[in-house]
A and B are shown apart, each in its own frame.
Chain A
Amino acid sequence: MKIVGLESLIFGVDDVRGAARFLVDYGLTPVDVSDRSGRFEAIDGTAVVIARQDDPALPPGPVPGCRLRKTVMGVADEATLGAIAAELRRDREVRRLPDGSIESIDDSGFVIGFQLTARRPVVLPGEISNAPGGVVFRPINSLGVPPPGSVIRPRSLSHVVYFVPDVAKAEAFYVNRLGFRCTDRFTGTGPFLQPGGSLDHHTHFLIGAPPHMHGVEHFTFHFGGPSEMITNGYRFVEKGYQAFWGPGRHILGSNWFWYFNSPFGCHIEMDADMDQHDASWQPREATASADNSQAFLLKMRRKWYPGPGIPENGDYA
């Protein structure tokens, strides 16, 4: 099944205006925003959609406290859409919506949708590192650090992480019914999952958790590279948003990460430079300690040389 990845995530929120400002400050482009709802797109058109939590058009979340109301995945062709509908109709309702997409529910209670992907093709070089002996270099006189005031935008909706009460059952649904592959696994926690039409290390990660945790841990967009992503994160912090973990680099998936609190009842991440794998990849398994989650974690030092206001040997506290 050629599921190419996430197309959009739909949230019900209690403060549309505040959530809209948050997403614009994150870097997304607002489309059709009102006091009741809005769509916020990455460069390729993948998006977060928000609506008032009491909007009757919103499907229910898996549990009352979960603000994620629907996860929409993109598929490459009508054949895949038909195959998914036929597969899921074996044991559950599948609705065909007026926009041509289909809607159903996964085995953990998350409402899922599938549509022909509307991702816009993006041709935009990623971050390039200059290295002695390298083959690809940045153009001469171009700068590695994004200059102040430069526009940084998320490129594509990357992945969503669910807390699920029965992780084996949740994984079986995505693997056996929708053709996802496990690329790596945290022992006793859950699998990183890749759909058949994507090479990304994961578009879904499942965490087994008690029923009262049922919901979302985080979601994230891919940025053009670590320098862009971390610059965007610092700008986000300067705007008053609350960082939770990062910036750093994960081990499984290798993606650079920075997590923030959000008005969506879950974390939001900025990520960059995730590994890609094909079917020849052999899944690894690791315990889910912090040491196995962060290859390194960066810390900003505001002053690092002797000067006004700091000891003459520098501030190395």
Chain B
Amino acid sequence: MATTREARSPRWLRLCRADEIGEAQSRGFDPDDEGQDSLFVVRWQGQLHGWRNACPHVGGAPMAWRRDAYLNAERTRIVCHAHGAEFMPDTGLCVQGPCRGERLIDIELVVDADGELFAKK
């Protein structure tokens, strides 16, 4: 995640203010208005991480069980609530479940000088 003023270009989608996502929280976004979140952002140990809302286990399977609910109760893992696969919030590596060893697809994020969070298209 970079911090730059150069974020305001067509290559970047504005998501929300970066400080709206608190520590160990997750939030989904539907920037293309598909009716379902295509990506989600997690703040873990202070850093924001963006991931495609697509479990590598079943092609493109959405992962939350309720809107914005991508984490386990302890807030230590991203969980796919289709078949229980668990992923590290910072690396996207699956550490338990049906796709162990595979990774989530990362989304490049940037926070501009005004604190706005953008995702790379």
| Chain A interfacial positions (CB closer than 8 Å to B) | 14-15, 18, 22, 64-67, 212-213, 215, 217, 239-242, 244, 260-263, 265-267
Contact = CB atoms under 8 A, between A and B. Distances in A.
Interface of B: 36, 61-67, 69, 72-74, 80-84, 86, 96-98, 100
Contact of B83 (A22, A240, A242, A265): A265
A14 B96 CA distance: 16
Contacts, number: 61
7 contacts: A14-B72, A65-B84, A65-B86, A65-B97, A66-B84, A241-B67, A267-B83
Chain B contact residues, majority secondary structure: loop
B100 A212 contact: yes
Contact of A261 (B74, B82, B100): B82
Given A22-B65, A261-B65, A261-B81, 18 more contacts: A18-B66, A65-B84, A65-B96, A66-B84, A212-B97, A212-B98, A213-B98, A215-B83, A215-B84, A239-B66, A241-B67, A242-B66, A261-B62, A261-B80, A261-B82, A262-B65, A265-B83, A267-B82
Closest 5 CB pairs of A and B: A265-B84, A240-B67, A14-B73, A261-B81, A15-B73
B58 to A, nearest CB: 9
B59 to A, nearest CB: 11
A271 to B, nearest CB: 18
Contacts of B63: 242, 261
B83 A213 contact: yes
- Decide if the interface of chain A is mainly helix, strand, loop or mixed: loop
A217 B61 CA distance: 14
Contacts of B80: 261
B84 A22 contact: no
Nearest to B80: A261
B84 A14 contact: no
A242 B65 contact: yes
B96 A263 contact: no
Contacts of A239: 66
B82 A244 contact: yes
